[in-house]
Structure 1
Amino acid sequence: MPKLLQDPRKAGQPTLVLYDVQDDRRRTKVMNACKDYGLARWQYSAYHGRLTGAARRELETRLEKAMGDSPGLIAVLQLEQWQIDDATILHQEAEDD
């Protein structure tokens, strides 16, 4: 199991990372960077978790390098707790066949 680059005992701010990177190799680097900072996959191209300010800046630098000159978009959104608390999230599990 890889060592997390942020101490999970440090709460940090709710953070959402959204990405759309076309190159498979670079997209894998983006996913691995998010995982290394303790973020959890929310959707195929979205990760969420809590990051300190320093960890967020480090992750942003790593994501910028991972994307390189490949076309795409990466958004790192720092949220407030009230935004998480007030969010409406609709979720339904797929039925097993």
Structure 2
Amino acid sequence: MIRVIVVYDISDDKARKKVSDTCLDYGLDRHQYSVFSGLVKPTHLRELAKLLRPLSKEGQVTLIPVAADDWEKRVELGASKL
């Protein structure tokens, strides 16, 4: 499994909703309105990128794979509002 962070900035409401729904369909957790993370299989990461690619024409979508040891070193500050 690969930890992935998905970050997006899309102005079109329909495309933005589709990105959000797709991330949720892949079991990713929402951290902010346009930030998701979670564990996916390598094949699912490629599928996710393929599904999100057309939506990135409405803005920008970034998928960032994160090594497990780096994820464990993260520092979270403040309370989640979602």
Q: TM-score, length-normalised on structure 1? A: 0.77
Match of residue 57 from structure 2: 69
What is the CA–CA distance in structure 2 between the aligned matches of 1:83 and 1:54, rounded to whole Å?
21
Q: Relative to 1, partners in 2 of residues 1:59 and 1:88: Cα closer, same or farther, differing over 3 Å?
A: same
Greater per-residue strand proportion: 2
| Matched AA of 2:74 | A
Deviating 4+ runs (over 4 angstroms) = none
Q: Distance in 2 between matches of 1:39 and 1:24?
A: 20
Other-structure match for 1:23: 12
- Residues 10 and 56, structure 2, Cα contact 8 Å, conserved in 1: no
Count of aligned positions:
81
Q: 1:83 aligns with which of 67, 70, 74?
A: 70
Instruction: Tell me the CA shift for residue 93 of structure 1.
Output: 5.7
- Are residue 55 (structure 1) and residue 44 (structure 2) matched? yes
Q: Percent identity?
A: 30
* Higher share in helix: 2
Which residue in 2 is equivalent to 1:92? 79
Structure having greater relative contact order (Cα 8 Å, sep ≥ 6) = 2
Q: Structure 2 length as normaliser, TM-score?
A: 0.90
Asked whether the 8 Å contact 2:8–2:60 carries over to 1, the reply is yes
Unaligned runs of 5+ in 1: 1-11
How far is 1:69 from its partner?
3.1
Measured after TM superposition, the shift of residue 92 of structure 1 is: 2.5
